[in-house]
Amino acid sequence: MLYADYRETDLDEVIQIDTIFYNVSKGDVAKQADLHKSFKTDDNRKILLE
């Protein structure tokens, strides 16, 4: 198997935190209402998979 063919399937190995930010440089976390409006869910793990 070549490295280029490898695809990580464990989300915990890819991301550091599962918080979704509106503006990460300012530390502004996205509002749950905005996430639900945009993604039809407020489950951060499901949103990260999209």
Give the CATH number for residue 18: 3.30.1250.10
Res 1 pLDDT > 70:
no
- Which one, of 47, 44, 48, 46, lies nearest residue 14 by Cα? 48
Model pLDDT, residue 26: 97
Q: Are 49 and 15 in contact (CB under 8 A)?
A: no
Question: Residue 42: which domain range?
Answer: 3-49
Which pairing describes strands 21-23 and 28-29: parallel, antiparallel, or unpaired?
antiparallel
Quick one: what percent of the chain has pLDDT higher than 90?
56
The model carries a pTM of 0.69
Average pLDDT over residues 22-44: 95
> Rounded to whole angstroms, what are the CA distances from 15 to 1, 2, 33, 38, 39?
24, 23, 23, 21, 19
Per-residue confidence band for 3, with pLDDT thresholds at 50, 70 and 90:
low
Tally of structural domains, the chain: 1
Residue 9 token pair: 């399937």
